[in-house]
Amino acid sequence: MNEKDVVRLVRSHSEGLFPKVCPNCGRRYESLRDYLKATTHLATPVLYDDLTEGVPEKPLGPLSLASCPCGTTLGISSVGIPLTQMIELLTWARTECKSRSISVRELLGHIRDRIDRQVLESPEDDMRDIPP
């Protein structure tokens, strides 16, 4: 697995979480693109799993938080990613953090930024342009 694979897998999962509705104001986000255009990221994504000694057998996975224009905090989580794939993704992340000498949050922020750029730069009417 390499960074392109990670971006592709996480983007595909994230896009599958839409449509999404704000529980406070009822705003409906039809797509990840709509969500990214209207919300504001809150810090870098969070990983509650401790990867210091390795990847847990049942990881929670990362969570990216954003603020809806109404002020409500919304999240995109990794819930639904198959366990074996989540373990593979976190194993990759652990290895990358060591080789790049960066924190997990820095790596997750970098991956989120790459996905954001791809989604926002893609033609709106053709989301089949997901790079391999």
Closest CA to 77 of 99, 98, 46: 46
Helix (H) or strand (E) holding 32: helix 32-38
Q: Exposure of 132 by Cβ count < 10 A (0-12 exposed, 13-18 middle, 19+ buried)?
A: exposed
Integer CA distances (angstroms), 3 to 18, 23, 72, in order? 24, 33, 31
Tokens found for residue 111: 């991956």
Under the banding of pLDDT at 50, 70 and 90, the label for residue 124 is low
Residue 131's pLDDT is: 47
> Could you tell me the pTM of the whole model?
0.87
**Residues 41-52, mean pLDDT to the nearest whole number:** 94
**Residues 2-28, mean pLDDT to the nearest whole number:** 97
